[in-house]
Amino acid sequence: MSVGNSAEHVAIIGAGIVGLAQAWLAAESGRQVTVIERSPRAAGASIRNFGMIWPIGQPHGDLYQTAMRSRARWLRLGAEAGIVVDPCGSIHAAHRGDEQAVLEEFAAAAPKLGVACQLLSPAEVLQRAPLINPDGLRGGLYSPTELCVNPTQATRRLPDWLAARHGVRFRFGVLASEVGQSAGRPLVVFSDGTRESFDRVVVCGGADFQTLFPEVLQNSGLLACKLQMLALAADSLPCRLGTHVAGGLTLRHYRIFEICPGLPSLRRRIAEETPELDQYGIHVMASQNDQGELILGDSHEYGSQIEPFDDVRIDEWILRELRHLLRLPAWKLSRRWHGIYAKHPDLPVFQAQPLPRVHIFTGTGGAGMTMSFGLAEDFWRSLQNQ
């Protein structure tokens, strides 16, 4: 049954950041929206991340612009939704000659790519981010576009704002166990035995490839990716971090740096010196949440490599590399955890339509906080004439 947009009732399955972004954009376009979340409150990848809104990591061109549109929406949420959004920017610090060379190559190319960033001297790096290790520091690349949010606070507060501002209805603690069709409309069957018809359903179930449409998700190329994370206690830190901080290892992680001719030799050097970092996908970054905690990570293990147990060696390697990057009087850990996200090897997000007016939208990889709002804008724009 075809209905006008304003009358359309949409179900979004999953209250992670991807589902919440879908809910916001659907409601903004005049649709009536219900969000269904199996947990009593969000507990997936969206509350377990660094809280980095990270345009600097996106490939230049359309995806960079999508990240910047998402960024603008985060700033709106900061102003309107009681969510703390810190426009802290980021620094990639170089402690080795090959890292500094890549930063210089990137800074030279950045104006043509439309990416705002600037090279800093060691003194300028320390002025902006005083916890960076001064020993052997060659310089840094500052970018003003990165934001910091507390992911747990943001993901759990957003539903209240969406309900109050846009009339979005939430059903927490209810699993959507099946999505089918009845009388030509999508039908959702719930774990409490109830069922409800909608005009459209968008499944944003993160890394759950088993419950809904497993035949599509398990043949989609999507992989689960597990990341180990740590936090340092706020009371052990002498001052604020200043900006988000990343080091030379991160230059081999984000695709935007692939334009740099010096990257392959940096990759080779790291592979030779520290093969365990490549084996477990380790690069190190730090953010600081509104509570003052330093959020540290991370590693990347994929698919069948993933065990339910956290590997203590991975935490040790992450901390070893962070000790090169940051200088702290004490390393007092307050929390350890892991998160799992869905990632497609080639796409910024995986989309499929397994039934009429039923969409799957997942697989934002390590950039869901950065990209979800912009990707949801594109999704609802693409449906305008359907």
HSE of 175, CA atoms in CB hemisphere, 13 A: 9
Total chain residues near ligand FAD (CB under 6 A): 43
Cβ atoms of 70 and 376 within 8 Å: the answer is: no
179's CB contacts (< 8 A; 6+ apart) are 13, 186, 187, 188, 189, 201, 203, 212, 213, 355, 358
Nearer Cβ to ligand FAD, position 140 or 366?
A: 366
Instruction: Establish if 83 lies at the interface with ligand FAD (CB under 6 A).
Output: no
Instruction: Establish if 299 lies at the interface with ligand FAD (CB under 6 A).
Output: no
Instruction: Establish if 247 lies at the interface with ligand FAD (CB under 6 A).
Output: no
Nearer Cβ to ligand FAD, position 191 or 236?
A: 191
Question: Which residue in 170, 213, 341, 379 binds ligand FAD (CB under 6 A)?
Answer: 341
Cβ atoms of 350 and 228 within 8 Å: the answer is: no
Instruction: Establish if 254 lies at the interface with ligand FAD (CB under 6 A).
Output: no
Question: Which residue in 65, 211, 334, 351 binds ligand FAD (CB under 6 A)?
Answer: 211
By rule CB under 6 A, what string of x and - marks binding of each residue 5-34 to ligand FAD?
--------xxxxxxx---------------
What one-character-per-residue DSSP string does 285-312 give?
EEEE-TTSPEEEE---EEGGG--SSPPH
Instruction: Establish if 301 lies at the interface with ligand FAD (CB under 6 A).
Output: no
CB-CB neighbours of 49 under 10 Å: 26
Instruction: Please list the alpha-helical segments (H only) found in 167-226.
Output: 214-217
Question: Which residue in 11, 12, 131, 212 binds ligand FAD (CB under 6 A)?
Answer: 212
Give the 3-state secondary structure of residue 237: coil
Tokens of 214: 């497993």
Q: Least distance to ligand FAD from the beta carbon of 210, Å?
A: 9
Instruction: Establish if 368 lies at the interface with ligand FAD (CB under 6 A).
Output: yes
Instruction: Establish if 49 lies at the interface with ligand FAD (CB under 6 A).
Output: yes
Nearer Cβ to ligand FAD, position 20 or 137?
A: 20
Spatial CA neighbour of 154 closest among 336, 290, 14, 23: 290
Q: How far apart are CA 186 and CA 197, in angstroms?
A: 6
Cβ atoms of 36 and 190 within 8 Å: the answer is: yes
Binding span for ligand FAD by CB under 6 A among 49-57, 157-165, 320-328, 378-386: 49-57
Instruction: Establish if 48 lies at the interface with ligand FAD (CB under 6 A).
Output: yes
Q: Least distance to ligand FAD from the beta carbon of 52, Å?
A: 3
Cβ atoms of 159 and 151 within 8 Å: the answer is: no
The helix-helix angle for 97-113 and 263-273 (nearest 10°) equals 150
Nearer Cβ to ligand FAD, position 100 or 228?
A: 228
Question: Which residue in 98, 146, 199, 298 binds ligand FAD (CB under 6 A)?
Answer: 298
Instruction: Please list the alpha-helical segments (H only) found in 53-150.
Output: 62-80, 97-113, 122-128
Paired with 35 in beta bridges are 12, 170
Query: Letter for the amino acid at 157?
Result: R
Question: Which residue in 31, 38, 71, 200 binds ligand FAD (CB under 6 A)?
Answer: 38
Q: Least distance to ligand FAD from the beta carbon of 338, Å?
A: 7
Instruction: Establish if 50 lies at the interface with ligand FAD (CB under 6 A).
Output: yes
Nearer Cβ to ligand FAD, position 313 or 336?
A: 336
Instruction: Establish if 241 lies at the interface with ligand FAD (CB under 6 A).
Output: no
Give the 3-state secondary structure of residue 373: helix
Nearer Cβ to ligand FAD, position 37 or 377?
A: 37
By rule CB under 6 A, what string of x and - marks binding of each residue 169-208 to ligand FAD?
------xx---------------------------xxx-x
Instruction: Establish if 77 lies at the interface with ligand FAD (CB under 6 A).
Output: no
Instruction: Establish if 67 lies at the interface with ligand FAD (CB under 6 A).
Output: no
Residue 55 burial by Cβ neighbours in a 10 Å radius (0-12, 13-18, 19+): buried
Residues near ligand FAD, by CB under 6 A = 13-19, 36-39, 42, 44-46, 48-52, 54, 175-176, 204-206, 208, 211-212, 227, 229, 297-298, 339, 341, 362, 364-370
